[in-house]
């Protein structure tokens, strides 16, 4: 399903993509000339981008422009879509994630994902968080597992709300709590990158504020990419912003620059609400 | 006039009524859009309204009439002097009456019994008389009904509403038939079971461990103790239908559902799922052959080869295995539905955590689908324990209380068949026992179905 040009040679970034990857010296993930097809239809066209640990990266763009598609190539979730095909090169710490010897299970443990709609498993809160550590064998003893669950829930800012009812079903929580539970679940396997696809779009403003606060707190510990339709949110939580349009990466740079002083006409139109 | 001719005559009257009424109603419309009162219903509905009034009362009367006249005719014939010579009671008297009637209606060419010959003219006269009365009354009713309805036709008469109401009543009646029949069956089961329990106490029936339904016909008969402890039958039913069959059907059905929903390529699924579903429609007697002729001998040979001397050619194992195979499509299609109903977000969530397909299935999909699967299994059990053909052909008749799968056991359904086939007195404990068994079976499967459907429904709601 993948076809990767020269998997071993680390391609020197071409001038165009260097321009996009401005200011990032030590990237966690690098994407070069990535194309994604669904059957014959091309959803992503020649996208190159860098993601690093110190900055939260926001993907913005009109609906259907390919933000989710591109995000899902970063942990190979598109593998689960039969018609999807990816070309180009994506590296995690210099390692080609589409190489044939790449273990998808390991990759997804390192690159976690939070979805648009909270999707806790129909299990207890504890079991939801313990799911990843269990399948990856991260805890040898029950006490270790307890510690991991507590740490993850604390980091996700949920511990105080649920510590007395860890055995209740995860699906019985409120929407905002469920989304934080999903974040806790993702960080329980101690990933290096967390991908979030519109994590707040199903939540009310207060729950959204909590998630945004959480993103602030987690910054630096994990490289984070967030897809959002909310310009204010992008401005609030991210330091880097990428604007996608019709499968192309139109502009990528510091969030402050993109929002105050976009280089491209299309970016300006979008963030000023002229279309979308 | 023969009854067929009468029927056609009444229908003909109905047709005429339809035409007449329709024409009359159509004439209202000619008064212009507001040339009188506005017409409420289309002319056609007026036609139907009058036609139904002409036909239905007459037909109803004919139905009732033909049900009561034979009794009246018999009574009248018996009152004649010729009938005084008849034997007073019993089969002979009935036989003569039947013969005389057949002579009278021309169904017999000649008399066999002279007494019947003598009665024939009386019969003929009475039949003729009643038929004439019936015909006249039916025609009068048809005319009267039609005329009454015809006079009601007015532009503002709500013929459509009335015809629709009748249509609804007919549809309601049709749907009630199934329900009423079931109620009737249950009532008869209950009634006969109560009679049975006047012979055998319920506790003996439900908890006794000895089953040997041969009751003595003559007092001196040997070996006919008549024991009605149904525990061995209940055990045999559970052993075959709920244990052995499910040991086969649950794992295989689940695995095939998992394969079909999670692994099979779309075009494999496209032909494999219908095939599985067609299997569910194979007549059970075909499975029965297979059980009796192929599986049962193989199971016996297997039993003998591993040193079980009691291995019988009718075994619980053979019947259970085949029944399990029969149930596979049932379990797999229920499980398939339940797994497919688990939101794909759940699956994605698990994959995104780095879980493999089999981990995702085991730890997320199956637990989430479990209530639906359990419901499906319960429905399957209820089908298995009510299944008759396979066990009749392969399980045997010996009411053994054994856990040895190579031994012959018997089931509730097998015994019901056994008790009711052949020449039986209809009021002996032996035949009545079949009704009590049927009642128990009915109650158990009903409960299973109710619980299963509730479980499945609850589960569906959880994801809506
Ligand atoms: N599974 C799929 N099969 C075929 N086409 C798809 C599939 N998923 C997405 N697409 C198409 O790819 C394009 C990009 O979709 P994608 O979901 O990435 O957009 P998006 O930017 O995330 O939009 P939104 O903001 O609405 O979530 C769209 O045209 C979409 O129709
Ligand atoms: Mg999207």
Per-residue pLDDT reduced to its tens digit, A101-154:
889 999 999 999 999 889 999 889 999 999 999 999 988 899 999 999 999 999
Residues with Cβ within 8 Å of residue B347, at least 6 apart in sequence: A80, B360, B364, B365
Q: Is A83 in the pocket of ligand 1 (CB under 6 A)?
A: yes
pLDDT confidence of B249, banded at 50, 70, 90? very high
Query: In angstroms, how far is CA B216 from the centroid of its own chain?
Result: 33
pLDDT at B24 > cutoff 70 = yes
DSSP B57-89: HHHHHHHHHHHHHHHHHHHHHHTSGGGGGS-SS
pLDDT confidence of A225, banded at 50, 70, 90? very high
With beta carbons under 8 A apart, name residues in chain A contacting B351.
77, 80, 108
The whole-angstrom separation of Cα B123 and Cα B115 is 12
Residue A119 has what pLDDT?
92
What's the average model confidence in pLDDT over B179-208? 90
Residue A14 has what pLDDT?
45
Residue A211: C-alpha distances to residues A200, B184, B349 (Å): 7, 63, 18
Helices B412-420 and B429-462 pack at an angle, to 10 degrees, of 140
Residue A21 has what pLDDT?
47
Helices B43-78 and B114-152 pack at an angle, to 10 degrees, of 150
State what percent of residues in chain B have pLDDT above 70.
Answer: 92
B148 lies in the same domain as B270: no
CATH code, residues A51-80+100-271: 3.40.50.300
For chain B, give me the number of helices (H) and strands (E)? 18, 2
B445 lies in the same domain as B360: yes
The whole-angstrom separation of Cα B335 and Cα B273 is 12
Residue B453 has what pLDDT?
85
Q: Do A119 and B349 touch (CB under 8 A)?
A: yes
B149 lies in the same domain as B234: no
What is the domain range of residue B426?
A: 227-462
Find, among A233, A237, A245, the residue nearest to A276 by Cα. A245
**Ligand 1 center from residue A68 Cα (angstroms):** 7
The whole-angstrom separation of Cα A199 and Cα A203 is 8
pLDDT at B207 > cutoff 50 = yes
Is residue B295 within 8 Å of B399, Cβ to Cβ? no
Per-residue burial over A169-196, b = 16 or more CB atoms within 10 Å of its CB, e = otherwise: ebbebeebbbbbbbbbbbbbbbbbbbbb
Q: Tell me the three state secondary structure of residue B448.
A: helix
B134 lies in the same domain as B272: no
B28-54 confidence digits (pLDDT tens): 765 555 445 567 788 888 899 999 999
pLDDT at A8 > cutoff 50 = no
Find, among A48, A39, A51, A63, the residue nearest to A18 by Cα. A48
With beta carbons under 8 A apart, name residues in chain B contacting A78.
none
B310 lies in the same domain as B444: yes
pLDDT confidence of A2, banded at 50, 70, 90? very low
The whole-angstrom separation of Cα B329 and Cα B9 is 54
Q: Do A119 and B367 touch (CB under 8 A)?
A: no
Last residue in a domain, options B137, B157, B177:
B157
B290 lies in the same domain as B415: yes
Closest ligand to the CA of A43 = 1
For chain A, give me the number of helices (H) and strands (E)? 11, 11
**Ligand 1 center from residue A2 Cα (angstroms):** 18
Residue A17 has what pLDDT?
43
With beta carbons under 8 A apart, name residues in chain B contacting A132.
353-354
pLDDT at A7 > cutoff 50 = no
Distance from CA of B267 to the nearest CA of A (A): 13
Last residue in a domain, options B98, B131, B157:
B157
Say how many domains are in chain B: 2
Distance from CA of A258 to the nearest CA of B (A): 31
Residue of B262, B338, B350, B354 to mutate when probing chain A, most A C-beta within 10 A = B354
In a domain, B299, yes or no: yes
B340 lies in the same domain as B250: yes
What's the average model confidence in pLDDT over B195-203? 88
**Ligand 2 center from residue A29 Cα (angstroms):** 20
Residue with tokens 């926001």: A58
Query: Does the pTM of the predicted model rise above 0.80?
Result: no
**Ligand 1 center from residue B264 Cα (angstroms):** 25
Among the partner residues A77, A82, A121, nearest to B346 by beta-carbon distance? A121
B248 lies in the same domain as B140: no
Last residue in a domain, options B157, B190, B219:
B157
Residues with Cβ within 8 Å of residue A197, at least 6 apart in sequence: A67, A68, A71, A72, A113, A114, A115, A116, A227
B261 lies in the same domain as B352: yes
pLDDT confidence of B262, banded at 50, 70, 90? confident
Distance from CA of A124 to the nearest CA of B (A): 12
Q: Do B349 and A182 touch (CB under 8 A)?
A: yes
Q: Is A43 in the pocket of ligand 1 (CB under 6 A)?
A: yes
In a domain, B190, yes or no: no
The whole-angstrom separation of Cα B336 and Cα B445 is 23
Q: Is A117 in the pocket of ligand 1 (CB under 6 A)?
A: no
H/E element holding A79? none
pLDDT at B433 > cutoff 70 = yes
């Amino acid at each position: 399903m993948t076809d990767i040009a020269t998997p071993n040679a680390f391609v020197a970034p071409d001038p165009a993509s260097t321009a996009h990857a401005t200011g990032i010296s030590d990237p966690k993930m690098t994407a070069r000339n990535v194309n994604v097809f669904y059957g014959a239809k091309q959803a992503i066209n020649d996208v190159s981008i860098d993601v690093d640990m110190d900055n939260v990266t926001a993907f913005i763009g009109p609906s259907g422009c390919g933000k989710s598609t591109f995000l899902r190539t970063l942990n190979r979730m598109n593998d689960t879509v039969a018609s999807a095909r990816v070309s180009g090169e994506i590296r995690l710490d210099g390692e080609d994630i589409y190489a044939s010897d790449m273990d998808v299970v390991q990759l997804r443990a390192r690159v976690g994902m939070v979805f648009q709609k909270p999707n806790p498993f129909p299990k207890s809160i504890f079991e939801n968080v313990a799911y990843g550590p269990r399948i990856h064998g991260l805890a040898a003893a029950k006490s270790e597992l307890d510690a991991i669950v507590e740490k993850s829930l604390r980091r996700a800012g949920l511990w105080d709300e649920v510590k007395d009812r860890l055995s209740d079903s995860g699906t019985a929580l409120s929407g905002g709590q469920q989304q934080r539970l999903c974040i806790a679940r993702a960080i329980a396997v101690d990933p290096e990158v967390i991908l979030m696809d519109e994590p707040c779009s199903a939540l009310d403003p207060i729950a959204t504020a909590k998630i945004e606060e959480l993103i602030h707190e987690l910054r630096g510990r994990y490289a984070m990419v967030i897809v959002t339709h909310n310009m204010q949110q992008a401005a609030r939580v991210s330091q880097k912003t990428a604007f996608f349009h019709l499968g192309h990466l139109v502009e990528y740079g510091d969030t402050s620059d993109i929002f105050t002083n976009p280089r491209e006409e299309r970016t300006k139109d979008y963030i000023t609400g002229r279309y979308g | 006039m023969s009854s067929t001719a009468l029927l056609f005559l009444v229908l003909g009257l109905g047709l005429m009524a339809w035409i007449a009424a329709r024409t009359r109603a159509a004439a209202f419309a000619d008064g212009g859009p507001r040339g009188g009162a506005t017409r409420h219903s289309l002319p056609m509905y007026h036609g139907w309204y009058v036609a139904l009034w002409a036909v239905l009362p007459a037909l109803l009367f004919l139905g009732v009439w033909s049900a009561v006249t034979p009794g009246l005719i018999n009574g009248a014939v018996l009152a004649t002097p010729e009938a005084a010579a008849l034997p007073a009671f019993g089969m002979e008297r009935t036989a003569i009456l039947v013969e005389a009637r057949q002579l009278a209606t021309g169904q017999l060419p000649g008399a066999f019994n002279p007494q019947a010959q003598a009665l024939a003219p009386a019969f003929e006269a009475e039949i003729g008389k009643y038929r004439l009365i019936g015909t006249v009354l039916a025609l009068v009713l048809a005319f009267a009904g039609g005329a009454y309805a015809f006079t009601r036709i007015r532009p503002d008469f709500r013929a459509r509403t009335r015809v629709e109401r009748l249509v609804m009543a007919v549809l309601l009646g049709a749907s009630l038939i199934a329900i009423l029949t079931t109620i009737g069956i249950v009532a008869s089961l209950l009634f006969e079971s109560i009679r049975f329990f006047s012979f055998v106490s319920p506790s003996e029936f439900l908890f006794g461990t000895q089953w040997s339904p041969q009751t003595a016909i003559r007092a001196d008969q040997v070996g006919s103790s008549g024991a009605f402890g149904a525990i061995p039958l209940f055990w045999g039913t559970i052993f075959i239908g709920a244990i052995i069959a499910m040991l086969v059907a649950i794992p295989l059905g689940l695995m095939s559902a998992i394969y079909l929903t999670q692994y099979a390529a779309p075009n494999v699924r496209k032909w494999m799922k219908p095939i599985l579903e067609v299997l569910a429609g194979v007549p059970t007697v075909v499975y029965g052959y297979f059980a009796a002729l192929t599986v049962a001998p193989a199971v016996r040979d297997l039993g003998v080869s591993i040193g079980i001397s009691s291995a019988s050619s009718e075994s619980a194992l053979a019947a259970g295995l085949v029944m399990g195979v029969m149930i596979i499509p049932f379990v797999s299609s229920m499980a398939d539905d339940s797994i497919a109903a688990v939101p794909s977000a759940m699956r994605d969530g698990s994959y995104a955590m780095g879980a493999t397909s089999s981990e995702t299935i085991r730890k997320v999909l199956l637990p989430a689908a479990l209530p639906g699967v359990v419901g499906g299994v319960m429905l399957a059990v209820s089908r298995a324990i009510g299944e008759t053909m396979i066990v009749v052909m392969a399980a045997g008749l010996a009411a053994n209380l054994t856990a040895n799968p190579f031994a012959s056991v018997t089931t509730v359904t097998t015994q019901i068949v056994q008790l009711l086939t052949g020449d039986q007195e209809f009021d002996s404990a032996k035949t009545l026992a079949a009704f009590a068994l049927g009642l128990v079976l009915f109650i158990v499967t009903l409960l299973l179905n109710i619980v299963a459907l509730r479980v499945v429904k609850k589960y569906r709601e959880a994801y809506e």
